[in-house]
Copies of this chain bind each other. A is one copy, B any other.
Amino acid sequence: MLDRHFSKHLPRNPLNVLWNFLILLATAWYGFSVPIAFALKLDMPGWTQLLDITLSIVFLVDILTVFRTPFLNNNEVISDPVLIRQHYVKNRLFVDFIGAIPWDVIILLTLPPHDLSPHWIALTRLLRTLRLFRVPSLVANLRKHTGNAFVDAIYLETSKKVKMSLMFFWVMIGLNTIACGWILVHDSPAKDPVSIYIQAFYWLIVTVATVGYGDITPQNDMSRLYATLVMLVGIAMYGTIIGSVSTTIANTNAQKQRRRDKFAALADFMKRYDIPLKTQNDIFQFYEHSLRDRISLATEILQELPQELQREIDKYANLFMLRSVPFFTQASHECLMDMVSCLTTTICSPREIIIKAGDSGNEMYFLFHGEVEVLDPQGHQLVRLRTGSFFGEVALLKQVERIATVRAITFCCNAIIFL
């Protein structure tokens, strides 16, 4: 059935991951090395031709795997091989194919060397960088965890780590390409290729960071136009990077900052009115607790869901908490699901009476979080219960009066089971 089919996170095929990682590495290798070799007019050593042929085969095989990878269309998972093939042939096959063929090797092997200038051969190598169009889907493949492509896509889209890594990758590709362009239009006094590259990269950073020492400047109209373009792009890049970094920091810190501001206002207020230290401690603890735990978060997000889904989520969340109580470690899944259906959660503040001796009641309590004390009728502490304990179980079994008072020591989160 559908439910079962989706009910487990699929184990990632380690071979699959390795394969995708390999292709990603090869793509990055071409993305960086091809523009550098072109700009510095480096001779390709023999082993690179071997590597080219090997990787071309790998790339061609990779194209075949795409024919079997489901894709998302309009939020629907398409896994029909025919539809996948149509979609791929129409959209990206051509670009992938052009980028996979080692044109320069083919030319070198098929034509006599004097028929084509080395310049043209170098140009054909640039076609390799078309492989970069495949990076996003490779990254997506590396992260494929569950059996549902839609859920995967959302997990991937919301992952900060992936987003940051990809941004870093593209920024480095971009900087490398721009630096190579500068090598082409600027006559560097240096002779050593490494020095030329370092100076070009140094010039680029000096420019886009708007430092502009002026020790390396364009000397002709062509390079001036290139520098002008880089500066215009540099303004935008600089602004965008500062903007997105600050936005990311702002988004990350927003909740933290709001919490700290509230703490600061609260601390000021309590200092001014000379609130006793014990009460201050209680109040700070409450804030810590309510801000960290699921209570506030769940409330905020779940409110917008339709009733039915809310109930379903609540069920699983309670199930998760019940499992953390030692009492239930041995209980079967079915038993726990039954219990969950007659369970509600409450939160108590310190010194609040949870059970009063002499009252009648038919609930049992599980302490999900916090500490309570059991008091005898004279108010002396009999025992202290911590997270994971349970109490009030007598009333669940026989209809008797509560025999002891239970009082919260810290803020508590209890699950109550009515029978």
Interface, chain A (partner B; CB < 8 A): 2-3, 6-9, 75, 146-148, 150-151, 154-155, 157-158, 160, 194-195, 198-199, 201-202, 205-207, 209-215, 217-218, 221, 224-225, 227-228, 231-232, 234-236, 238-243, 245-247, 249-251, 257, 260-267, 269-270, 272-286, 288, 290, 294, 297-298, 301, 304-309, 312-313, 316-317, 320, 347, 349-352
Contact = CB atoms under 8 A, between A and B. Distances in A.
A217 B215 contact: yes
SS class of chain A's interface: helix, strand, loop or mixed? helix
Given A278-B6, A308-B352, A260 B157 contact: yes
Given A235-B238, A269-B294, A277 B213 contact: no
Contacts of A281: 6, 148, 150-151
Contacts of A218: 202, 215
B235 A209 contact: yes
Given A209-B234, A215-B217, A308-B351, A148 B269 contact: no
A313 B75 contact: no
A265 B206 contact: no
Contacts of A205: 228, 231-232
A195 B9 CA distance: 64
A228 B215 contact: no
B246 A243 contact: yes
Contacts of A231: 205-206, 209, 211
Given A275-B313, A309-B349, A313-B279, A228 B201 contact: yes
A167 to B, nearest CB: 14
Contacts of A298: 269
Contacts of A262: 301
Contacts of A247: 250
Counting from the closest, the 4 A-B pairs by CB-CB distance are A211-B212, A158-B264, A213-B214, A214-B214
